[in-house]
Structure 1
Amino acid sequence: MIGMLNALIDLVESESGDDLDVSRFAREHGSTEYHLRRMFAALAGMPLSEYVRRRRMTLAAADLVAGAPTVLDVAVRHGYSSAEAFGRAFRAVHGISPVDARRDGGPLRTQTTLRFRLSVEGSIPMDVTITPTSELVLVGHAARVPLIHEGVNPHIQAHIAAIPPDEHARLKRLSDAVPAGILAITGDIAPDAPEGTELTYLHGVSVRPGTPVPDGLDSMRVEAGAWAVFAASGPFPETLQRLWAATATEWFPSNPWRLRPGPSIVRYLEFTGTHASCELWLAVESA
């Protein structure tokens, strides 16, 4: 995985504009675009699309300062069909226009070339079980909320708080499939979506495909397949967020599994508000 990501970085440096075919690159390296984008975002701390944009604007700025004949020449060289579109992208990264950069030389924001290195530290003990399941139907109460990487998500808190207590009890009674009990389910999001992107959060349970579902509940269907189930216990939400990061930095690079499209599921075994014992379920397939 580390070698594949570094080869992807090399491809970003050599390609321009729309020539970067991530899907083909992933296939040629025995992976999938979904898994590759998820791992890149987790390890780089930014989506692949954002890194590509920053690098191209870094190189474009260097061309402008070096005395390129026109802004349009630089725009075309870096994959833009118009000076206007290039100017918007350039200003979003550098905070100034290409004309100002060409005239004044800056100030400019530089994105250095990334290099991935694997450091095998085993800093977080990881209890993992590979669990196959048949098709899942996840039912409950859904809301659209923004993605927040660190700390408690207040939008999810507000959504859960608005669900009446007797509805929690009804959902528990409805649960008849693994993972059992009340679940925190996130889905409907791009594999490398930046923070702030809207996703679907479902507070619900897992049921068998044939189980009658009461009216008024939202649902997600998930294909049959394997799940990597990571167990963790500690302060909430820090422990869960560190576990998320460790799956990318420690577990996936050293195990023959990759992520497949599907929601992520958190099953709380014990929750006091400041401390949680939980399971993180990630949909996986053999690499």
Structure 2
Amino acid sequence: MDWLEQINRVMEYIEENLADEISYDKVAKMACCSKYHFSRMFSSIMGITLSQYIRRRRLSLAAFELQNSDIKIIDLAMKYGYSSADSFSRAFYNLHGVNPSIARNNGVQLKAFPKMSFQITIKGDVEMEYRIERLDFEFTVVGVKNTILTEKSFEMVPKIWEEASKTGLVQRLIDMSWEDPQCKLESLLGVVGEQPSITDEKFEYMIGVRYKNKVPEDMEKIVIPKSTWAVFPDVTDAWKRLYTEWLPTSGYELADLPCIECYYAPDHEPKDELWVPIIA
């Protein structure tokens, strides 16, 4: 089964279970990747988070039922996973612009959010450079974590780095950095941590460096085991093209580890790289 077929099977599973509980462990298993990677892949390709998609599809179906049946609003709320009629009504209003009770009236304008499917558009006009790095040792990244909203990540991450520079955190990390380089991960690192759950609309992002000594009290650590990585120049461009161009056609599967952004010294070329864990 190829990548595209796997992902579209996931979309069918979600569609078939909109009125039931959706198992996100099963979603990730069907997609042959971790919950972490599926969540980021979905938002990168679709332009919205998985939780937003599921919510919009459920509220679209709820609107159809309101106009074509006499189902009670509280029963409809329970059917689509809301704990009360009030929480359902608020969500319904946010999408459709009217309350559920009004949606039953003739002539009321509602919004239908269609079922999505994944497709690949082969461009072929700009190549995507990468290399494979195999690290045969465990290493530790130490730094400070920040919470990032998935849909605003390209805005929030640069601001976090800018703030870290102003507060002196960046210089402090540079002073802590590894004195005995073992690999090309000797730089300022942005570790893209796992979402608490597959449908969360935020994730943890650590600004840090590789470090072998005692962890400072105001910092945290992430331990990365022996692993294999696909490495891409230009972090911003790589993120935008990773899930839509490289992964569907590469034949690789993503490993259940964080992705790492590497920001090098000013005279280094390239200036930054994205390290993506893969199954060797």
Q: TM-score, normalised by structure 2?
A: 0.81
Q: CA deviation at 1:266?
A: 1.9
Partner of 1:122: 124
State the distance in 1 between where 2:30 and 2:105 align: 43
Distance 1:82 1:167 in 2: 49
In structure 2, the CA distance between the partners of 1:119 and 1:213, relative to structure 1 (3 Å rule), is: same
Partner of 1:224: 226
Deviations 1:143-194 (A, max 9, x none): 4243433346323311222116763542345463433332231333416653
Instruction: Mark the CA change 1:180 to 1:19 in structure 2 (over 3 Å): closer, same or farther.
Output: closer
The residue correspondences of 1:182-201 to structure 2 (distance < 5 A) are 182-190=187-195, 193-194=200-201, 197=202, 199-201=204-206
What's the CA shift for 1:76? 3.9
> 2:210 maps to what in 1?
206
Rounded Cα–Cα distance in structure 1 between residues aligned with 2:203 and 2:11? 27
Paired positions, count? 270
Among 146, 150, 162, the alignment partner of 1:157 is: 162
Number of the residue aligned with 1:264: 259
Q: Please, which of 139, 144, 149 is the counterpart of residue 136 of structure 1? A: 139
Where structure 2 has 5 or more consecutive residues not aligned to the other structure, the ranges are none
CA distance in 2, matches of 1:28, 1:143: 30
How big is each residue's C-alpha offset from its partner over 1:179-230, in whole Å with a ceiling of 9 and x where there is no partner?
A: 3332231333416653xx362331x3224xxx33464554221222222111
Which portions of structure 1, spanning 4 or more consecutive aligned residues, are displaced by more than 6 angstroms? none
- Contact 1:179 1:206 (8 Å CA) reproduced: no
Q: Aligned letter for 2:181?
A: D
RMSD (CA atoms): 2.9
1:284 CA drift (Å): 2.2
CA contact (8 A) 1:135 1:221 kept: yes
1:271 shift after superposition: 4.0
From the superposition, tell whether residues 121 and 38 of structure 1 become closer, same or farther in structure 2 (CA, over 3 Å).
same
Q: Which has the higher strand share?
A: 1
| Distance 1:127-1:102 versus aligned 2 partners, 3 A rule | same
TM-score, reference length from structure 1: 0.79
Say if 1:187 and 1:262, in contact at 8 Å, map to a contact too.
Answer: no
Deviates more, 1:211-220 or 1:62-71: 211-220
